[in-house]
């Protein structure tokens, strides 16, 4: 039996002797992800996550192995160690798992599908193992997106709980809490104003000399029943459970509206469900108000994301310094509150969005 501290090294040693025929790589804002597998399907599934072109500098590299089964020696060690583990939530809380940390090596086994993930933190190696092909493809996407790309963005940039689109070449950041109308406002901009989709629910923001730049994350658009009923082009609204949502994949969003990777932020919008009588309204607010609201937004979302980033592959600089720069840059954009009610008609909302669109045209970036 392998000693505990030898599990990771033994696994990687066995993997390097395997004749993997399929190789690919993707880049994400300075992060290079190398993937290998015995067949192309898991790599094809991950290809849609590819970000912008490789940067000029050498960024960090993570190696991901996609396997139907583990090499025999490492598999025996895994089985011996996993009972002595803690229970955690993975894949955005959709599943639970058993986790065991052995120095630089983290071993995880999901309870629903039995997918095994082994992470060697020191070497930045990730192994995803699942015998069922369709589950392996889906879980490889989940691991790369949620446990590699998201921690990388958290360590090198700031993630805002927001949606974003691009209108006339400038980013519109729609931020707020769950249920405030972020997705509804975003879809109205896409449908009525011809904006292009950038991201939903989480947006990566970096502060530079020219202001804030927003980057989309490769997540599908998740739409609640009430919003889905307003936009039939997305597909039929759930008719059974009021809490059910429809998921619009990135390829469908690209066909409907176009998808952009990044854009300088020109307008910051905070939708607020309004209980007052009257049409929807757009009201400018001070930079100080937006700064306060964004500070709470970023801090709460960082805390919410932290438990899911169990791989711990990256150690970034002080988050507070990055966040302060991003919040300051966003507060110097054109900030507005957008008051709306669920019963407002499309036409009423479209008129209010015309006001927002004119603000984009005069925004500072």
- What are the structural domains of the chain? 4-156 (no CATH), 158-361 (3.40.50)
Q: What per-residue confidence (pLDDT) applies to 197?
A: 94
Element (H, E) at 216: strand 211-216
User: DSSP characters for 115-172?
Assistant: -EEEEETTTTEEEEE-SSHHHHHHHHHHHIIIIIIHHHHHHHSEEESEEEEEETTEEE
Tell me the HSE value of 201 on the side-chain side, using a 13 A CA sphere: 14
Which residues fall within 8 angstroms of residue 325, CB to CB, at 6 or more apart?
207
At 53, the pLDDT band (50, 70, 90 cuts) reads low
The pLDDT mean for the chain works out to 78
Q: What per-residue confidence (pLDDT) applies to 185?
A: 85
Counted residue by residue, the chain has a size of 365
Pick the residue with more confidence: 114 or 267?
A: 267
Which residues fall within 8 angstroms of residue 6, CB to CB, at 6 or more apart?
77
What's the mean pLDDT in 275-288? 73
User: DSSP characters for 73-116?
Assistant: HHHHHHHHHTTS-EEEEEGGGTEEEEEEEETTEEEEEETTT--E
**100-131 residue pLDDT tens:** 666 677 777 776 677 878 777 777 888 888 88
């Amino acid at each position: 039996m392998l000693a505990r501290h030898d599990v990771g090294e033994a696994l990687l040693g066995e993997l390097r002797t395997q004749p993997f025929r399929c190789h690919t790589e993707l880049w994400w804002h300075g992060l290079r992800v190398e993937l290998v597998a015995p067949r192309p399907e898991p790599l094809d599934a991950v290809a849609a996550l590819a970000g912008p072109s490789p940067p000029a500098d050498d960024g960090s590299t993570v190696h991901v192995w996609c396997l139907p089964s583990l090499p025999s020696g490492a598999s025996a060690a895994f089985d011996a160690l996993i009972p002595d583990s803690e229970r955690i939530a993975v894949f955005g809380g959709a599943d639970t798992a058993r986790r065991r940390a052995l120095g630089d090596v983290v071993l995880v086994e999901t309870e629903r599908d039995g997918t095994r993930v082994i992470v060697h933190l020191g070497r930045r190696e990730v192994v995803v193992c699942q015998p069922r092909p369709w589950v392996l493809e889906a879980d490889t996407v989940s691991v790369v997106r949620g446990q590699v790309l998201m921690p990388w963005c958290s360590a090198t940039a700031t993630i805002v709980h927001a949606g974003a689109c691009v209108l006339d070449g400038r980013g519109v950041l729609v931020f707020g809490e769950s249920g405030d109308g972020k997705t509804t406002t975003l879809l109205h901009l896409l449908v009525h104003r011809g904006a292009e989709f950038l991201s939903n629910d989480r947006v990566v923001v970096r502060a530079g000399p020219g202001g804030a730049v927003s980057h989309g994350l490769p997540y599908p658009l998740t739409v609640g029943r009430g919003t889905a009923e307003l936009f039939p082009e997305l597909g039929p609204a759930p008719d059974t459970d009021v809490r059910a949502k429809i998921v619009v994949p990135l390829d469908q969003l690209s066909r409907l509206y176009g998808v952009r990777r990044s854009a300088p932020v020109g307008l910051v919008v905070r939708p607020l469900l309004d209980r007052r009588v009257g049409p929807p309204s757009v009201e400018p607010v001070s930079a100080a108000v937006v700064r306060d609201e964004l500070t709470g937004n970023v801090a709460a979302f960082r805390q919410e994301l932290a438990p899911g980033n169990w791989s711990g592959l990256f150690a970034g600089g002080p988050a507070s310094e990055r966040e302060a720069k991003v919040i300051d840059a966003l507060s110097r954009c054109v900030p507005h509150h957008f008051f709306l009610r669920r019963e407002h008609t499309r036409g009423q909302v479209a008129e209010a969005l015309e006001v927002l669109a004119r603000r984009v045209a005069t925004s500072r970036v």
